[in-house]
Structure 1
Amino acid sequence: MESPGPSRRSLLRGQLLSRPVAIINDDCLAKAGIVCRSCGDACSASAIRFRPRFGVPPEAIVIDDACTGCGDCVRVCPGDAISLGAARHGGTS
């Protein structure tokens, strides 16, 4: 049976839960100057992109609108730098 969705009361109170998306924190290996693309390789939705930076490894960014919240990137991250959380406004985290 499918869940009924948010209640009318929660809609009126603004308590809608957003879907989970990947959030990459400061423990990402790229922040330490180490090249790693494990999360991007594991993402079947191609929601993780790598922003080039001069003189340092590319920065991993999540495209919130493309992220399905499956958690595949969380499992493969060698730095435990990815968690699932609420989507942010603006499309990237």
Structure 2
Amino acid sequence: MESPGPSRRALFRGQLLTRPVAVINDDCLAEAGIVCRSCGDACGTSAIHFRPRIGLPPQAIVNEAACTGCGDCVAVCPGDAIALGAARDGGAS
């Protein structure tokens, strides 16, 4: 079921008037111990990098300032763990 549209209050506050960026959720294969770099390979702007972790595969991290919101990473993710969402304040992670 899709979520309802944005509230009027959010629109008036400008909370949803930001550009879309890739958002990686907990369904990422790395969280299940599986090495996967499909999203990083598909990203033409190199906005996705991988943070090393001890005992686990590297964690995919989106640089929101570099992300164009093109969605190329969404299409290639085998775990359906990436969606386009609003950028957070600050623009980088």
TM (norm. structure 1) is 0.82
Aligned to 1:73: 73
Take 2:14 and 2:44, find their aligned partners in 1: how far apart are those partners? Answer: 30
5+ unaligned residues in a row in structure 2: which ranges?
A: 1-11
Take 1:53 and 1:68, find their aligned partners in 2: how far apart are those partners? Answer: 26
Identical columns (%): 74
Per-residue deviation, 1:84? 0.1
User: After TM superposition, where is structure 1 displaced by more than 2 Å over at least 4 residues in a row?
Assistant: 13-16
Q: Find out whether 1:14 has 2:17 as its counterpart.
A: no
5+ unaligned residues in a row in structure 1: which ranges?
A: 1-12
Aligned-pair Cα RMSD in Å: 1.1
Aligned to 2:30: 30
Name which one, 1 or 2, has greater alpha-carbon Rg: 1
Over residues 28-71 of structure 1, what are the superposed CA-to-partner deviations in whole Å (9 max), with x where a residue is unaligned?
Answer: 00000000000000000000000000011000000000000000
Map 1:45-84 to 2 at 5 A. 45-84=45-84
